Structure 1
Amino acid sequence: MYDYRNNLKRILNKTAGDDKSLQNSLSAIKAILAMAEGGEVVSTQVVPKKEKSSDHNQEKIQLFNSLLNNIAELIASPGNEKAKKEASGAIHKLTFFGGISKKYGKSLGRLDNVIQKSVETDQVVNQKIFEQALKPKKQVKRDYRTGKRYTIIRTLSGAQLTTDNGDIAFEVNESQIHSLNLKTGDIVEALENKTALGPEVEILRVVGYKNMRKRDYDQIETFRYGVVQGSSGNLSVSRNVKGQKLKIRGKNIIVPVDSSYYQNGTIHLEDGSIVDLAWYSEDVRLKKDPASAVKIRWIYETEAPKRVGKTPKKINKTNLSPTKINKTNLSPTKIETLDLDLHYQRVGIAIGDNQNEKILEEIVNKYNGIPIPINAFEGKKKAMENQIKNLDIVILVTAFAAHDSTWNIREFASKYKVKFAVSSSKGYQSFERALYRAANGMPAYEGNQQLEYKKKKIKNKAN
């Protein structure tokens, strides 16, 4: 007979007082006794079948949920690597369950193959680019404590950063100076850029002003918003956008400009470009050849329409019979302009800085409107709301506006029933169209829509 006494002692010594331990001990004792009597025992441990089955079902449900969610993600964003990996993992784990593998093994295999072949589409790529563009740019963290102070002395293009002793520490280009609207005597904090990339120094902020003696620097005169006219290779500036003539020492001057000149490697001169000019007041060349002393300080980014010539094409009347002469061919040249009259409505121009502000104000004046600049970089919502609520029309120039301000302007324009339109380009033709759409209740955004802009003909005055 089988000696079961030692087995029973070990079982009883390991038995705890909880129900599960007692149940397992009882089953083990029954198994030992059965062996002693010569019976067969399949297992010496009780397995709670319901609990085990329940755990398996719960795991299946979780895997199916994971698979379906990731398939949905792949439909919305084809080629999503994370979704592909998780969906494939869920399929592999499901195949470990006997019933599922037997019934759905082939289907799951095909599904896994299709998931692995999922790739990004152009639409997904464009959507990612669009979403990335809408994300507000992170402000660059600067340690102002490490910046050193310098005094600005303007040059014809750019400026010199001088120390307290008057020594020139750095020279910076016009792009840094123009964006901050710096002038001679401004005291700035700047950081030296010790890397090979970028400018030698970065101007952080303006911290004060120093009234300098005139003998300590060369005085400069400027002519702002000059209009470039002429054909390629024969360009010149003689007037600004307001029609004021360029005068140097009391004389009207025409300054030829070089069409091959490029600013920052991209912006070039052409007929219709808007420029700032500068020259030293005491330049000796101003007496005999003033044009040679003038330099282009800045070219504004515009999309100016080509200027129409003042003289009509000559018609050879000898080759035309009286019946073939068309009176319209002999009439003065006509300039096309939009058929728009604002009737002195108040037009808010939402723009970040005054770079193109004067040009856009001229367009509003042209159509009998009252231009009112709005700082689209203004962070205070209440201040922006107070500006917009008293307007009739507001035009947002998105090229100059901060992203968070864009939503504020749209919100307040809707709240106070102000006519609203968007000019996505810096060019004044785009702004002119936006003005037309707002005044006539057309869509705020032009996009790819085919919109009709009615035009009227205006005859040039005879010279």
Structure 2
Amino acid sequence: MYYQDYRENLQNILDNIKGGQDSLNLGAIAIISLLDMAMVKEDGDDNDEEEDEQSEKDYEDANRDNANESDNKGIIEGDEEAKEDNDQDAATETIPESEENKEEKLETVEETVPEKSESEPIPEIKTVEDEYGVPTGHRAVIVERSLQGVRLYNANTNEYIGILNEEITRRFNIGNGSLIEVKPVEGRFAFVRTLHQVDEPEDNDVFHFAVVKRESAANTLYVDSNVGGDKLSDYNPTQNTYFIPTVVNKLTSSNGFVSEGDILDLAWKEDRPEEIRIRWVYPDTNLGSMPSKKLKEKKKEPAPNATTPKKGVPTPKNVKEDKHKTNESMTNIAFNLNGKKVTVVIGNEIRSTVVNSLISAHNGKGNVVDAFKFSNVDKFYKKALRHTDLVVMVQNLNKHATSKTLQKYVKKYKLRFAIADSAGLSSIERAIYRAYKGLPAYETTNQPVEYPMTE
């Protein structure tokens, strides 16, 4: 075998090694890998071990022959010297390289190893902490969403080092895949700051805003739907009902923290849907404590010196009515979505409020998503479209790769789909109608669509 010229690459590694222990370890690994890549094996290298065993066997046979011939009085010194010369010649033939070639190779190897200069300090390899100015003792870590909170991984070695709980994750809006700075505190880690915010889709399924109910005449608490009326079974086919564990049920445990009427987020792993965990209990959202009847408002007496509003000047009641009329005026086509969930892929979320209002005006549930928000669009649409009924894509605010991935999951989930040629409300409304009625996705002059217009 022999080595290719690795001097330049080796020098680059040496130039980036710091004096710290982590840097020295990483540098050693890099040098070993470089030598492995530079080594080139020749065809005869695999047989070297077999040749050594055969040479040793031949040597033993020669010794036995010499012992037998020593008993023969007819052997003379000249013959022995000739035999030794022959043995040396034979041994020389088994060596693949001459002494001169060996010396030349040794000189070549010595030339490839650069001499260390004692006067020049060893340069350091930059770590993620150096790149973001993380103080000594603090860590730069990459986070991965867990069923509760996030898991922390060393940003340099990808080694798991600890967790942050759900409360910290929500308080500081730590997205899945983000790069953050933490510091060790009494065996745990404390959040310091976000170095690079990322919000990639997580590998867990989540049922948001689940409502805790109580079985009549029992202390059993359970969840089967959320505040929007979505059923748990639509998100988790293995579970029609999730029963709150007795250890966290306030009715059955002194340490419990879940009561009737609480709003929860439930989470489970995609490959283990039967193992549901309570991710979060929303504070101050107990629906059970809310009165079933609305309190009558006391009639307010007019303030002293108050003037009667002039005709045509809007009062608060008129303003509310005008707002309702504005919501109705958004619709130009007469149709009822009957509670269907509509996902609109619009390229940005700037118009999400007005688009959701349009869908609500047709008695539907809106879900506006940003087509450019996630780098892993395949993983995002796999989750985003799993629990929707209709999909509308705004064509001029999406790229081809997004459109291709979107249509892949539309076909997989057998969803009704339409394309709006612009982000205008009338264009989106027509696309929603076509998707709801199962009409062609595109609106063309060759196939005109008759829309039932409002009066």
Q: TM-score, normalised by structure 1?
A: 0.31
After TM superposition, the score normalised by the length of structure 2 is: 0.32
